[in-house]
């Protein structure tokens, strides 16, 4: 009963349209939340104490972080796109009693998980790796490797000179910048 109530309350918190309000209420529940983390609206978090998120990381809307079967450890500068499913618990389809089995998932720094991917328990996504849209990851992904498909297989290699930091969208709205409107837009408006 308490677990269901906690899950329900977390669901309500993650529907709040204001990032800073979600952070105030979700931070105490997470295992760890680094600096400059964007947890977008409607992220579903199961067992938040098993979720560890590094700095400068974005987790987009409608993503599921399932911490029921182990920890989800997300590094720094990780981009998780919308509608991603990260599972730490699944059923053993060969078990006579349909036993649930769990394992940790680790996503290293600078990884990019594109939209609608599924990552299964026990998987490690390497540093700088990219998981293409719609992929189902059943095995570890090596550093700086691009994978795609069902099941995910290597389809490319990524540049190793990554230095970017992801910034929260909310902070961009209030940032002082020297951005100038491109000439083409000025002419179009006239």
Active-site residues, by number, are: 91
- In the chain the first and final C-alpha atoms are separated, in Å, by 61
CA atoms of 130 and 169, how far apart (whole Å): 22
Half-sphere exposure of 70 (CA within 13 A, CB side): 20
148: enclosing H helix or E strand: strand 145-148
Query: Is residue 74 within 8 Å of 107, Cβ to Cβ?
Result: yes
Q: How far is CA 126 from the centre of its chain?
A: 14
* C-alpha dihedral (186, 175, 40, 119), degrees to nearest 10: 90
Assess contact for 34 and 56: CB atoms under 8 A: yes
């Amino acid at each position: 009963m308490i677990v269901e109530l906690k899950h329900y309350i977390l669901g309500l918190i993650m529907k709040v349209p204001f990032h800073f309000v979600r952070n105030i209420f979700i931070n105490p529940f997470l295992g760890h939340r680094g600096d400059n983390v964007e947890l977008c609206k409607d992220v579903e978090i199961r067992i938040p104490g098993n979720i560890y998120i590094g700095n400068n990381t974005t987790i987009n809307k409608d993503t599921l972080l399932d911490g029921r079967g182990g920890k989800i450890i997300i590094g720094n500068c990780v981009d998780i796109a919308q509608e991603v499913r990260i599972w730490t618990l699944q059923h053993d389809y060969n078990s006579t009693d349909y036993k649930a089995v769990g394992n940790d998932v680790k996503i290293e720094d600078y990884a990019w998980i594109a939209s609608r991917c599924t990552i299964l328990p026990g998987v490690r996504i390497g540093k700088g790796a990219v998981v293409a849209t719609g992929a189902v990851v059943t095995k570890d992904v090596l550093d700086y490797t691009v994978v795609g498909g069902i099941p995910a297989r290597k389809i490319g290699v990524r540049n190793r000179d990554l230095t970017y930091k992801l910034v929260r969208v909310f902070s961009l709205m209030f940032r002082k910048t020297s951005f100038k409107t491109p000439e083409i837009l000025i002419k179009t408006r006239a």
